[in-house]
């Protein structure tokens, strides 16, 4: 197939591009480099089926020729990024999604939206099923990301109902692995870099809030399965293993052999207290489930960051431990 991937130079997008190319697809990557890096795609340079187009999909999407599938993954995704770029985050979730949908509609392509577990907000239902509508503060500091994705889901569903576009919605839970940025502020990259530097690991609140962490290779298998299907979703993708931030910090310290301690700071506004996906729908409709345990995924992620000591050291002053 010929597949267009927006945000294809980002942490997750670059893994998607790689997986699709490996199986023989042609890939057109769209990216504006705002929260991504050409380094993520360096190993794909020169691949005959790979094209990179520098563009802001919130402004325009121009792809010539036939398109079989459109995967919309462009968006800031970590709290520091979307707090730093609030208007851009809202734009890519709204105008950017509409522009990518128009491309899919125009070419008769399958459209897959990367939505997020953040649409559940600070959930009152646990674990979270796709039937749950969420508990989101629409004017809070996290709302620029949460509501951008909620709108993206709404317009995607409307294209499917009104125009017959072949659409699918994925709700992606916390994902980690190689090619995360050391300074992106996500909890695993922050904890790993802090531990490798011997700095205190930054926990918020009492550290008993939970997250569920899916290794990137597992997640990409689910994304590709969604691209290949006609499932409308929404479908949760994530690892249902649930860990407190204190448990995660202790495991990172153990695996790195670091002398680091854990520091506690006030809990950010609207920070979810519990987060765990119900993946029954993904298992039944996509034949997908994760296999890589947190300890094994962390070992691989730690090895990646340990191989980049300059980047890890440079990140020391910027890490905020976003969770």
Q: Are 142 and 272 in contact (CB under 8 A)?
A: no
SS3 130: coil
Is there a catalytic annotation at residue 145? yes
Q: How many helices (H) and strands (E) does the chain have?
A: 11, 13
CA 182: distance to chain centroid?
15
Q: Are 88 and 31 in contact (CB under 8 A)?
A: no
From the candidates 82, 120, 132, 145, give the one annotated as an active-site residue.
145
| Long-range contact pairs involving 262-267 (C-beta distance under 8 Å, separation at least 24) | 262/200, 262/201, 262/203, 262/207, 263/200, 263/201, 263/202, 263/203, 264/203, 264/204, 264/205, 264/206, 264/207, 265/202, 265/203, 265/204, 265/321, 266/204, 266/205, 267/204, 267/205, 267/209
SS3 220: helix
Element (H, E) at 201: strand 201-204
Q: Are 219 and 279 in contact (CB under 8 A)?
A: no
SS3 42: helix
Q: Are 214 and 174 in contact (CB under 8 A)?
A: yes
Q: Can you read off the two tokens belonging to residue 115?
A: 């939505």
SS3 59: coil
Place of tokens 């052999």: 257
Burial class from Cβ neighbours inside 10 Å (0-12, 13-18, 19+) for residue 201 reads: buried
**Residues with catalytic annotation?**
145
């Amino acid at each position: 197939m010929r597949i267009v991937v927006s945000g294809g130079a980002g942490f997750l997008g670059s893994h998607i591009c790689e997986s699709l190319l490996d199986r023989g697809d042609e890939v057109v990557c769209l990216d504006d480099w705002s929260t991504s890096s050409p380094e993520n795609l360096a190993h794909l340079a020169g691949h005959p089926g790979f094209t990179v187009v520098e563009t802001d999909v919130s402004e325009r999407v121009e792809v010539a020729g036939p398109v079989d599938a459109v995967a919309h993954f462009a968006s800031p995704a970590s709290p520091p990024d979307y707090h730093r770029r609030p208007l851009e985050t809202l734009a890519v979730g709204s105008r950017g999604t509409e522009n990518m949908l128009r491309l899919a509609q125009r070419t008769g392509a399958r459209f897959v939206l990367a939505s997020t577990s953040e649409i559940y907000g600070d959930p009152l239902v646990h674990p979270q099923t796709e039937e749950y509508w969420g508990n989101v503060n629409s004017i809070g500091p996290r709302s620029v990301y949460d509501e951008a994705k909620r709108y993206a889901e709404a317009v995607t569903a409307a294209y499917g109902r009104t125009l017959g576009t072949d659409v699918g919605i994925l709700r992606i839970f916390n994902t980690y692995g190689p090619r995360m940025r050391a300074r992106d502020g996500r909890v695993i990259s922050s904890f790993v870099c802090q531990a490798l530097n011997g700095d205190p690991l930054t926990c918020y609140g009492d550290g008993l809030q939970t997250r569920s962490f899916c290794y990137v290779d597992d997640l990409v298998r689910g994304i590709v399965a969604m691209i290949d299907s006609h499932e409308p979703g929404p479908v949760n993708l994530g690892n249902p293993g649930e860990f407190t931030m204190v448990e995660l910090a202790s495991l990172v310290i153990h695996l790195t052999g670091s002398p680091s301690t854990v520091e506690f700071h006030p809990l950010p506004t609207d920070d979810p207290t519990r987060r765990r996906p119900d993946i029954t729908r993904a298992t039944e409709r996509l034949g997908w489930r994760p296999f890589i345990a947190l300890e094994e995924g962390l070992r691989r992620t730690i090895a990646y960051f340990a191989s980049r000591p300059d980047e890890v050291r440079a990140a020391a002053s910027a890490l905020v431990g976003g969770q």
